[in-house]
């Protein structure tokens, strides 16, 4: 008795299944290799400073009373810190503006225009009193940093 020959329909079906299986194995293997050989995941950003945030003290397992007292201490000293910031920030801004003017004098006209383009791409700073924005999603490049030592002038002033 001769072995039964496979019909053309069965051959096409088996061929399609083999191709599909090869594709699936390739996708899974490629994804696994990319994950295994790819760059490590970025570290989690530290929690943003927020009023009342305990910073490193949050990891100490403080009791309710200790946490309450720590928050009271932080709130009691907050006006002092804010006064220092309000007093010194204009001085820092003035020095940065002077430094930026001096640095621009070193640049060629083409470099100055390129610097102007770079500075125009910068997003506006957040309003005072708000935490900084979250980092961009993974895979999207953040905007370029400002030129070394230069703080941008506040927008709208």
User: pLDDT digits over 34-50, tens only?
Assistant: 888 888 777 765 555 55
Which has more pLDDT, 92 or 149? Answer: 92
Q: Which whole number is the average pLDDT over 148-154?
A: 57
User: Tokens 């009342």 identify what position?
Assistant: 52
Sign for the CA dihedral angle at 88, 146, 137, 37 comes to: negative
| Token digits of residue 56 | 């490193």
Res 13 pLDDT > 90: yes
Contact 114, 92 (CB under 8 A): no
Q: pLDDT at position 23, please? A: 95
**Which pLDDT band holds residue 142 (cuts at 50, 70, 90)?**
low
User: What's the pLDDT score for residue 136?
Assistant: 65
- Across residues 8-12, what is the average pLDDT? 92
Mean pLDDT computed over every residue of the chain: 79
pLDDT given at position 11: 93
Q: What's the pLDDT at 63?
A: 87
Q: Residue 86 has what pLDDT?
A: 87
Q: What is the pLDDT at residue 122?
A: 84
Tell me the C-alpha distance between 121 and 142, whole Å.
11
């Amino acid at each position: 008795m001769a072995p039964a020959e496979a019909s053309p329909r069965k051959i096409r079906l088996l061929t399609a299944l083999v191709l599909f299986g090869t594709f699936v194995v390739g996708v899974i293997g490629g994804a696994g290799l990319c994950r295994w050989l790819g760059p490590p995941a970025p570290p989690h950003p530290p929690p943003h400073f927020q009023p009342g945030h305990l910073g490193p003290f949050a990891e100490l397992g403080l009791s309710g009373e200790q946490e309450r007292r720590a928050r009271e201490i932080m709130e009691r000293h907050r006006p002092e810190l804010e006064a220092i910031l309000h007093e010194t920030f204009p001085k820092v801004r003035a020095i940065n503006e002077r430094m930026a003017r001096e640095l621009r004098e070193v640049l060629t006209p083409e470099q100055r225009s390129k610097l102007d383009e770079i500075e125009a791409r910068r997003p506006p700073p957040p309003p005072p009193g708000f935490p900084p924005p979250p980092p961009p999603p993974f895979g999207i490049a953040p905007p370029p940093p400002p030129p070394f030592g230069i703080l941008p002038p506040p927008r709208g002033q």
